[in-house]
Structures are given as C-alpha cells and as structure tokens.
Chains A and B, each alone.
Chain A
Amino acid sequence: MEAFTIHTGRAVPLRRTDVDTDQIIPSEWLKRVERTGFGAGLFEEWRNQPDFILDRPAYRGATVLIAGENFGTGSSREHAVWALQDFGFRAVISSRFADIFRGNALGNGLLPVQLPAAVVEALQAAAEADPTLEVTVDLGAREVRAEGLPTASFDLDDFTRWRLMEGLDDVGLTLRNEGVITAFEAGRPGRLPTTV
C-alpha cells in the first residue's frame, strides 16, 4: 500500500448525498478480475450526462473529492476505491462515510476524511468559487487546510494513522500475531461447523 502522509491538490465538489457504490462503479465493471483500470468506469452513468462536474475542464486533475453526506453507501465493492484512486483521487472529504467503504479506503491508502457538515459545505463552496483552490490533507497533523478557510481538524485513531503513514498492509501486521491466532484456534469447541 502506498503511504499517505500529506497531500496537496485541487479539489472537486460533488454536491450529492448518499452517493452509493453502484454510482461510483457500476456492476458491469465488477466482472473484471484485475485490480487496476477502473478509473474509466468511475461515475460512469453520470459522466455520460452533459456538464457533470468531474468532466469540466476547470476540475480536471483534481485529487481531492469533496462529497455529500453518506458517501460510499451500499455494496461492499472495493472496486469503488480502486476506481477513485485510478482516476487520481488521494482523499475524499465527507460529513459521513458508509462503514464498509471507509474500511476499504483505509485499506488502500485512499484517505477518507470526515469533517462536520458545515466545514464540508464551506470547502465545497470554496472549490466551486475557485476551481484552482488547493486543499492540503495533512495526516500527520490530522488537519485539512485551504487558503481563506479556517484549519479543520479530523479524527483518526493513532493505530490507523500510523499504518497509513507507514504504508503497511494489514495482513503483514496480523501475521506477526500468528502464535496468538494458533492458540485461539486450539481453544475453539469441536462442535463448530466446518465446510468440508
């Protein structure tokens, strides 16, 4: 996983609430067995419509998505995170993320930044007023900064923050506890079901 420490980039506001993962990447794309190449399918239905904000020239190359409330709701498809990353996004800001999407994002180094609705609204308004506005997402300081706006702090537990800043993947970390897992397994009751 690519480490995330601090990122500065232009931001695109997506003023829609309850953006579900079927919108982020439609199911037709889920037939692929690869992990890359999903950017072309990002918001595919909306990008077929005229004047979708991600397609406006002023927002091309934006790397921070400022989304409405309850972003990433619905299906567990990690392809949604892969599509956002493949398109170029490094961070998504929203006042609320769906749990599975948030977990998938944290597992891939796409930073989900949860901020109060009023702060998200102010960032969206600023990015609408000035598409060249640069937003800094600073994981070390747990802050979002943009010129002309007050610095906004966000919460992320110390462990997850450390893991992201080091770019460590969970499997490797967990396997350090192999002995504990084996000991737990030895204590499981024999009547528990097996699939064979």
Chain B
Amino acid sequence: MGRTLAEKVWDAHVVRRAEGEPDLLYIDLHLVHEVTSPQAFEALRLAGRAVRRPDLTIATEDHNVPTTDTLLPIADVVSAAQVETLRKNCADFGVPLHPMNDPDQGIVHVIGPQLGLTQPGLTIVCGDSHTSTHGAFGALAFGIGTSQVEHVLATQTLPQTAPKTMAVTVNGALPPGVTAKDLILAVIAQIGTGGGQGHVIEYRGEAIRSLSMEGRMTVCNMSIEAGARAGMIAPDGTTFAYLKGRPHAPTGADWDGAVAYWRTLATDDDATFDTEVVIEASTLSPYVTWGTNPGQGAPLSSAVPDPASYDDPGLRGSVERALAYMALTPGTPLSEVAVDTVFVGSCTNGRIEDLRAAADVLRGRTVAPGVRTLIVPGSMQVKLAAEQEGLDAVFTAAGAEWRSAGCSMCLGMNPDTLSPGERSASTSNRNFEGRQGPGGRTHLVSPVVAAATAVTGRLTAPADLAPLAAPGSAAPAL
C-alpha cells in the first residue's frame, strides 16, 4: 500500500524499532533558542555529557531580544541573563549561534528556511511549538519540551510514537484579498484547537499548491493551533526554486540528487489518511479571531457570536468566558471593533512577503491617530531586504514603527507588550488570555488586514478602505 509524505519521512529516520516501544527517530536539524534550552544544557553538564552533533544544531536569540536600541545591553536583567546563558552554553558545547546584531539573527523559524537549512525530507525539532513551520518544505518538523531538547542534544535522536495522518485539502483558488493566514484561521475554526491532536496534517489541493513558500510557512506554522503534531506540504517546483542557491542548500550534483529524492516524497496516489477534511477555497474570506483561542475565529464580515446559539453547555461557557475577557458584545459587527495596537511580525507573518503585503496597503495612507503600529521583521535578513526595497520608508511615512528582528509582541517576553485592557490586531498565532501582556486582548489577522486596521483603527479588510487618489490627480475641491 502507498505511503503518505509524513510516513515516508518518518520511515527514513527510524534508528530503532521494537515491539511495544516508541520508534527511535534520528533528528537531522535541531534549532535552539534562549528560552527552552538553559535547563537542557545544565542537565548535560550535570551528567557530564556532550552535544553529540553540534554540526546539526544551530542557535539564535529571538524570544527575549528588544527590537529597539539593539546595540545597547538588554535592559531587563532577567532577559539579559538568559541570553548570556545561551551564549555561554553555545560556546561551551560548540553550538553555532547567531546572536543579536548578527546579520543572520532572527526568529528561529524564519532563519532556518532563509539559510537553506530547512529542506524537504528532514526531521527538524526545536523547543518551540511553531517548529511546525518548517513542514512547508516537506520536512517533518515538530516542537518539543526542554527534556526532549536535552535528549536530542545528547543523542541526536528522539523516541516518538507514530502519528496519525490527516489530509486537509483546499480545492480551487483563493478569492482575491484572501491570504494564507485567512485560510489557516478558517481551517482551525472548522476543526477546532484539538481537532488535529495526534495527527500530522498534510495540506493539499490547488489552493495550497498555488501558495508561495511564505504562504505555506504561514499555514504550517499554525498547525499546532489546531492541536496537530506537525503540518506538511509536499515539496514541488516552488520549494526547489526557493531553496536553490541558499547558503546551506546542496550544490552541483548534490543538488540534482537531492531534488530527485525530494520528488519521491509526495504522498502516493493509493495512500490513505486516518482523517480527511475538504475545504472549498471559494467559500473563504478575510478571517479574524474574536475569542481567546485560535479556533474562535470568523469571517471579518460577520458579527461577534452569541453564546446562546451554542447547544453544548461546555462550549457555551467557554464562549461566554472568552467574550467577557475580550469585552465584546454578541452581535457586534467585527468590522466595528476598535483597536489601539497593530502588530505585524512573528514566525507566522514576519517574512518579506508579509511585509510587502502590509506595505502595499499602507503605501500612500496614514495610520489612524492613537493606533500604535509595530512592524517587526522576522529576521535581520528580512529587515535588510525590506530596507533595500524601501518598505521601511513606506511604514514610517504612514506613521508605523520600524523595528529590529525578534518574536516581539507575539508573546511579549521583550518590552513590546500590550497593557491591561489594550486591544490589538496581530499577525501572530495566539490570542490566548494575556499572551501579548497581562490583560491584553488579541485579534489574530493577516498582514493586509493588520495594515488596513492600522489605517481605520478598527478591524478592516483592505477592500473596505477608501481608494487612494490616482497619482497626479487634482486634490478634491473643498
């Protein structure tokens, strides 16, 4: 019988299989950052163990780093100590590190693909749940805890039970103005935050195949928000074109050999999935969340739901709690919800294409008075590319703040946070209570909705903005 993409990658990495035990999987690439690694390195030290394969391990500083004044010492002493700990651990154990202000520093899930380290068919882990991002290349990539980080550092393997497989097929073409972010928010709203539990999701269908690598990364990134162990997309010409020429991509005959292998990874025609979900792309529209988990989302053109419309008492209670926390009234059109902050960035939407999309909306427009708008590139390379294209000038001319690379307001471990009661439109991945700062309220949106929201001060799709005057046309008569 045929095998799925996930099963092929899994099978190619089984070091040891024994009846009644988890498979021992070899790990091709281990990404490390400052937050979930210190206790793992310390455990190695206590046990007198080395890092088995520092040449398959790479570290960066992303969660804690400030996005302004990056040449100054980190003001938060606890954050500074954590970053210093990573530097010492990398030096002691021989792990390559891209520290703050390094040209390749950035969010761990942005730099892996950018450096060409993320490749089809690899197993990739990181002490971070959004490791699912790398599945966009046809890698099997998943988040792990600190004890597992220690395990991979020490052994370059991980015991894992085989996952179930789920196909999410998106047929047809996305309507104009509908992005990868809207697609994945709609998927999560449909299957729920636990719908993918125990599964690796493979995204398939015309709408997925038509996405750029950036769009595919956005989709796979949020697989964890559907509870899935990983998300994957079969590698194709789009994948190969993105990888070719990147610093760690194979070259010459190795490139040809790699591509030939990568082409074998696609799910066989006669393979079966444990679970299948089909979505028609034509039914999708710009999506936003209204609640306190990523499954609590709805079309921007709809209204805040009424808890009374839910039959299940548990679900009704959870919606009531969410609306109370979010200070939203049932029936309010989502397009009337006013925000004080807009955040464009994160491992979900902090890549160059995301910044271009936001800049296209903001070009020639102005951020609404009182709306703090942060544009945070996902890496220093993204920052550099954006500046070379003049996107920074577009953002600052509109009244937005142009920052340096890091996780920033996605989780507020650095100074970029919401204050209690503040409300954001955010291109990040989690709208949990207090995620962006204690008492903060988060609406997850796409980069273009974030930009349009910055202009009006309320949740807005770009299609609903007043058109710009054509260049050279006369100013309207007073």
A residues apposed to B, CB below 8 Å: 15-18, 20, 22-23, 26-28, 30-35, 45, 68-70, 73-79, 81, 96, 98-100, 103-104, 107-108, 157-160, 169-171, 173-175, 177, 180-181, 184-185, 188-196
B145 and A81 form a contact (CB under 8 A): yes
A33 and B227 form a contact (CB under 8 A): no
B26 and A76 form a contact (CB under 8 A): no
A76 touches which of B28, B36, B76, B193 (Cβ 8 Å): B36
Interface residues of B in 72-130 (CB under 8 A from A): 76, 78-79, 81-82, 85, 96, 116-117, 119, 122, 127-129
Q: How far is the CB of B149 from chain A (nearest CB, A)?
A: 9
B216 located at the interface, meaning its Cβ lies under 8 Å from any Cβ of chain A in the complex:
no
Identify the closest chain B residue to A45 (Cβ). B434
Chosen A-B contacts, 5 in total, with CB atoms closer than 8 Å, are: A18-B318, A22-B433, A30-B36, A75-B411, A184-B15
Residue with the highest number of chain B CB atoms closer than 10 Å, among A28, A32, A99, A158: A99
B147 and A196 form a contact (CB under 8 A): no
User: What A residues does B155 contact at CB under 8 A?
Assistant: 171, 174-175, 181
A185 and B26 form a contact (CB under 8 A): yes
Q: How far is the CB of B333 from chain A (nearest CB, A)?
A: 25
A193 and B117 form a contact (CB under 8 A): yes
User: What B residues does A33 contact at CB under 8 A?
Assistant: 38-39, 42, 81-82, 85
User: What B residues does A158 contact at CB under 8 A?
Assistant: 20
Q: Say whether, besides A96-B197, A104-B145, A180 and B15 are in contact (CB < 8 Å).
A: yes
Identify the closest chain A residue to B439 (Cβ). A45
User: What A residues does B28 contact at CB under 8 A?
Assistant: 192-193
Interface size on B, residues (CB 8 A): 80
B250 located at the interface, meaning its Cβ lies under 8 Å from any Cβ of chain A in the complex:
yes
B145 and A175 form a contact (CB under 8 A): no
A31 touches which of B78, B96, B129, B250 (Cβ 8 Å): B78
Identify the closest chain A residue to B226 (Cβ). A73
Cα A193 to Cα B28 in complex, Å, equals 8
Cα A196 to Cα B371 in complex, Å, equals 43
Q: Say whether, besides A76-B145, A100-B129, A174-B24, A181 and B157 are in contact (CB < 8 Å).
A: yes
B341 located at the interface, meaning its Cβ lies under 8 Å from any Cβ of chain A in the complex:
no
B274 located at the interface, meaning its Cβ lies under 8 Å from any Cβ of chain A in the complex:
no
B229 and A99 form a contact (CB under 8 A): yes
A70 and B193 form a contact (CB under 8 A): yes
B421 located at the interface, meaning its Cβ lies under 8 Å from any Cβ of chain A in the complex:
no
User: What B residues does A74 contact at CB under 8 A?
Assistant: 129, 224, 430, 432
Identify the closest chain A residue to B160 (Cβ). A103
Q: What is the number of contacts between chain A and chain B, taking CB atoms within 8 Å?
A: 195
Q: How far is the CB of B113 from chain A (nearest CB, A)?
A: 12
B433 and A45 form a contact (CB under 8 A): yes
Beyond A181-B155, A195-B57, 11 additional contacts (C-beta under 8 Å) are A31-B35, A70-B197, A76-B144, A78-B36, A78-B147, A79-B146, A159-B20, A171-B47, A180-B24, A192-B28, A193-B249
B residues apposed to A, CB below 8 Å: 15-16, 20-22, 24, 26, 28-29, 35-36, 38-39, 42, 47, 49, 54-58, 63-64, 76, 78-79, 81-82, 85, 96, 116-117, 119, 122, 127-129, 143-148, 150-151, 154-157, 159, 161, 193-194, 197-198, 224, 227, 229, 248-250, 254, 257-258, 293, 295, 314-315, 317-318, 321, 411-413, 430, 432-435, 438
Q: How far is the CB of A39 from chain B (nearest CB, A)?
A: 16
B145 touches which of A107, A174, A181 (Cβ 8 Å): A107
Identify the closest chain B residue to A98 (Cβ). B227
A18 and B127 form a contact (CB under 8 A): no
Identify the closest chain B residue to A78 (Cβ). B145
Cα A40 to Cα B127 in complex, Å, equals 23
A69 and B157 form a contact (CB under 8 A): no
User: What A residues does B248 contact at CB under 8 A?
Assistant: 193-195
User: What B residues does A177 contact at CB under 8 A?
Assistant: 15-16, 24
User: What A residues does B122 contact at CB under 8 A?
Assistant: 192-193
Cα A184 to Cα B300 in complex, Å, equals 51
